[in-house]
Amino acid sequence: MKHYKKILSAFCIAVLSTSADAASLSVEARSLGMGNVRVATADIATAPFANPGMLAFQTSRDDFSVLLGVGAFLRDPDGVVDKIDDYQSAYDRFRADPINNIDDGNRAVAIAQSLEANVLAPDASALLSTGFSGKTWAFAISARAEAVGASTVTNISQTVAELPDPSKNILELEGVLTNELGVSLARSFQVLGQKIAIGITPKYVKVDNIHLSESISTIDTGIGSLIDDSKNDLSDYGTFDLGFVMGLTKHTRIGLLATNLVSQQINYTNTFGTPVTLSFDTQARLGVAYRNNLLTLGADLDLIENDAMFTSQNFQALKSQYASAGGEFNIYNFMQLRLGIQKNIADGISDAAKENLYTAGIGFWFGFNVDLAVVSQSDSLGGFLQSGFRF
């Protein structure tokens, strides 16, 4: 799995080396451990990323928090990483002795052809937030960074004679790097005996992009320098998120989150000289939750199908619309155990992309909190680690 590690490392470097204003991640460790459920379950530390309305809807006595986290995920439902490993092994044997190892050459061609329309999607994220919650008003400052990429193999060899051609079997990678700084403000109300909270997060967003190409014969080397050479500063813009939470009973609530309410389209010319448009559209998510001192249960649903954040038609099958469910068991306020499941219900995606994504997480309180989450789906794997404190 050397390519898995190499590509994830490259994207982590890309995230952490962009603006210190940090940028956009859709989850953090606590919500990810619960299947990415967050709209009606967020705590004071995670609310700026999950639902700003939840800042003013806390049942705990915590009124200050600091949170820092990093995460990475590699979506590989088609097994691209393993196929590239197998291709390189067969190609290296063929290249060492083309006459006696012709079978390895034929195998390399067959593997390359099996990569047609397969998509590999790495993702890396970093976040930082601090929040203050009073009796009715709450305030937070948040920063987050995300590098989202997608790659596929193009110009595939049809014969053994084409294998040495450097223009054949090219891994084309497109990446979007976003840096985001937000300020959240929330207020709670009592309406007909029920608590309601509304929150808003104005955001500044900076966008960079990456287009790079590398032969799958040599993809194990030079990715870091390729990213440095291929990164382009595109644009920046302002938008805002709006969150709402309402108590239904003593232990249940419903939440609604709308993000990027000022949508944005960025027009530019890519490295191939083609005019393209990168869109950041409005998204909406509904959540319900049950919470007591021992147990938190929740379910979220994307109300809008979200297009892939890429310009190439090769990656439009990465669009998403998630249904999520999960829970957290609290052990003496010292340890939290989390489990969850998430499913992509978007139309027009592959069966592999529709497979359930399973998550698990654990949290500890040592006077400061440590949260770890892992996520798995077939050949896809990722994790998130965060720490901070609250009082």
- Residue at 94: amino acid letter: F
Residue 288: what pLDDT? 98
Q: Cα(177)–Cα(147) distance, rounded to whole angstroms?
A: 4
Residue 20: what pLDDT? 31
Kindly state the percentage of the chain with pLDDT values over 70. 87
Three-state DSSP class for 219? coil
DSSP letter, residue 89: H
Residue 124: what pLDDT? 86
Q: Cα(206)–Cα(236) distance, rounded to whole angstroms?
A: 4
DSSP letter, residue 305: P
Strands (E), 25-120: 64-75
Rounded to 5 degrees, what angle do the CA atoms 149, 223, 29 make? 45
Query: H-helix or E-strand containing 15?
Result: helix 2-17
- Predicted confidence (pLDDT) per residue in 262-275, tens digit: 999 888 877 667 78
- Predicted confidence (pLDDT) per residue in 120-170, tens digit: 888 888 999 999 988 899 999 999 998 888 888 999 999 999 999 999 999
Q: Give the other-Cβ count within 10 Å of 226's Cβ.
A: 17
Residue 317: what pLDDT? 63
Q: Cα(346)–Cα(357) distance, rounded to whole angstroms?
A: 14
- Does the pLDDT at position 68 exceed 80? yes
Q: How remote is the C-alpha of 28 from its chain's centroid?
A: 9
Residue 352: what pLDDT? 75
φ, ψ at 241 (rounded to 5°): -110, 150
**307 vs 205 pLDDT, higher one:** 205
Q: Cα(6)–Cα(9) distance, rounded to whole angstroms?
A: 5
- Residue at 367: amino acid letter: G
Q: Report the number of secondary-structure helices (H) and strands (E) in the chain.
A: 6, 16
Return mean pLDDT, the chain.
86
**203 vs 78 pLDDT, higher one:** 203
Q: In which band, very low, low, confident or very high, does the pLDDT at 13 lie, cut at 50, 70 and 90? A: very low
Domains of the chain: 2-390 (2.40.160.40)
Q: Cα(242)–Cα(284) distance, rounded to whole angstroms?
A: 10
Q: Cα(183)–Cα(200) distance, rounded to whole angstroms?
A: 8
- Does the pLDDT at position 7 exceed 70? no
Residue 243: what pLDDT? 98
Torsion of CA 189, 284, 23, 382, to 10 degrees: 110
Whether 35 and 340 have beta carbons less than 8 Å apart is answered as yes
Residue 188: what pLDDT? 95
Q: In which band, very low, low, confident or very high, does the pLDDT at 11 lie, cut at 50, 70 and 90? A: very low
Q: In which band, very low, low, confident or very high, does the pLDDT at 16 lie, cut at 50, 70 and 90? A: very low
